[in-house]
Chain A
């Protein structure tokens, strides 16, 4: 480590552009956004009249916004649960070197390289809510058509057009897209466990289950934490996938804060849009700040 004081100056100078840019574009704008959220600027006309937390209390009392928070909760639970289950399962199967491992890994990971907008095009078609038994059912496409033709017609459903659980259908493409990423994280975790550790446990007479319970799972928990943080904060921000699957941004069934913020922005309701932004920031900060604190502590050790 280079520690002489006169060496600090040039480093700070080189970092200055980034410090200024991040200072302005992240921190100053967060404050500015908060300020706008306290005004009554509900039209395109600028207004600096402060109304305190009125926008927040109105939003939280608005059934539409409450529903968007409910949707966000369901989306996050299903999205997180799904990616963790598939990600872990795939990593677990591929953990022992196997023939064709590279191929399977590549296939599972490939959806990640595609944009939500592009994948939304096909998922919109796959998750078409029309069912074969309904009027106009001959126009059914997607998974409902597939289920019908393989004799599982009873499993057909509304997918995203259900006001309570429809949002879970939006998690399906999200899981499709990001399970491979979680798999890659878990694979790195598995590979980081020294073989000697397993051997030692086996020699000590550990059953396979005990081996996992006491040796492997604890070693994987930092990876798991990373996955939860990354998928969780992606879920809170998820916007493009919903926009791509559901043409009308104002659709109540799949409304989340991020899409509602867009609708408010389009309607020039800047104060409400800013308030929703701040609420999202608080939600993200609640998980991310402890995590950043934890990792920077762990690094020092």
Chain B
């Protein structure tokens, strides 16, 4: 009995320690979010750095207004760019995943690995000739060229996610459709597509988030005038004399869409992240 109560005490201490640790880390992780939030509501009255960590004395929305007016046009452009490119690359990825898992041809695994490598390359290693190629193709800077690039460089991960996903669809279903005389496209339409919804959700979220957050391609293929929101934000926040309230409000505005996706569809967001680790 005595040792039992000792064990309970020990367990209780362990549990308290565990929660203390968990809460400590929550505070650390949320600290930058706290700074963003309070600073975005500060006016010149609170500009004194000694008050940097305190709540605003007067809550002002000037920073938000300025950030919104600066970012609004680029937000529209980003939606225009991110949504169609996510849909197209998801659809192509679905077809690829289907072929590579259910209609394997000799060498399919090699082709798959070659496609997959495109996911890992540092884009710096293709950037110089890429700028040349895109301008030779006559694709205008800004939304059109970025759309093309997000589709093309999204193909490897979309293919990977769908290939892993379709591996869970029983081969017998495909066989049965084939017995009924359905070709590759009919089988896709009648067997694969109807069960693809969860795969599409994961892929669309992944593509949406990574294209929304992209800065590298945006920096090379657009300027402030036609750039997406990351470019507009870097202009707003860049420079030596920064309007902290406006730039932090801007950072929050630029993060709202991906945060909403994360909060509402967290499970699928994580699914996308995990698929990025190849073995899934």
User: Is B18 a contact of A33 with CB atoms below 8 Å?
Assistant: no
Given A14-B95, A21-B155, verify A126-B32 contact (CB < 8 Å): yes
Interface presence of A115 (CB below 8 A): yes
**Bound-complex Cα distance A94 to B21 (A):** 11
Task: Give chain A residues whose Cβ lies under 8 Å from the Cβ of B263.
Answer: 106
Main secondary structure of the interface of A (DSSP, over half): helix
**Bound-complex Cα distance A11 to B174 (A):** 14
User: Is B124 a contact of A258 with CB atoms below 8 Å?
Assistant: yes
**Bound-complex Cα distance A273 to B266 (A):** 39
User: Is A122 a contact of B36 with CB atoms below 8 Å?
Assistant: yes
A214 to chain B minimum Cβ distance, whole angstroms, is 23
- CB contact list, A8-53 vs B, under 8 A: 8, 10-12, 14-15, 17-19, 21-22, 24-27, 29-30, 32-33, 36
B215: nearest chain-A partner, CB-CB: A240
A124: nearest chain-B partner, CB-CB: B237
Q: How many residues of chain B are within 8 Å of chain A by beta carbon? A: 96
Given A15-B96, A113-B209, verify A292-B116 contact (CB < 8 Å): yes
A271: nearest chain-B partner, CB-CB: B128
Given A2-B104, A277-B124, verify A141-B258 contact (CB < 8 Å): no
**Bound-complex Cα distance A119 to B213 (A):** 11
**Bound-complex Cα distance A21 to B155 (A):** 9
- CB contact list, A129-151 vs B, under 8 A: 138-142, 145-146, 149
Main secondary structure of the interface of B (DSSP, over half): helix
| Nearest 10 Cβ contacts at the A-B interface | A115-B213, A281-B125, A11-B103, A240-B215, A8-B105, A113-B262, A29-B126, A32-B129, A121-B251, A226-B277
Question: What is the interface of chain B, defined by CB distance below 8 A to chain A?
Answer: 18, 21-22, 25-26, 29-30, 32, 35-36, 39, 49-50, 52-53, 92, 95-96, 98-100, 102-106, 108-109, 111, 113-118, 120-130, 133, 152-153, 155-156, 159, 171, 174-175, 178, 183-185, 209, 212-216, 219-220, 230, 233-234, 237-240, 244, 247-248, 250-252, 254-255, 258-259, 261-263, 266, 269-270, 273-274, 276-279
Question: What is the interface of chain A, defined by CB distance below 8 A to chain B?
Answer: 1-2, 7-8, 10-12, 14-15, 17-19, 21-22, 24-27, 29-30, 32-33, 36, 86, 90, 93-94, 98, 100, 104, 106-126, 138-142, 145-146, 149, 173, 176, 180-181, 184-185, 188, 222-223, 226-227, 230, 233, 236-237, 239-240, 243-244, 247, 257-258, 261-262, 265, 270, 273-274, 276-278, 280-281, 284, 288-289, 291-292, 295-296, 298
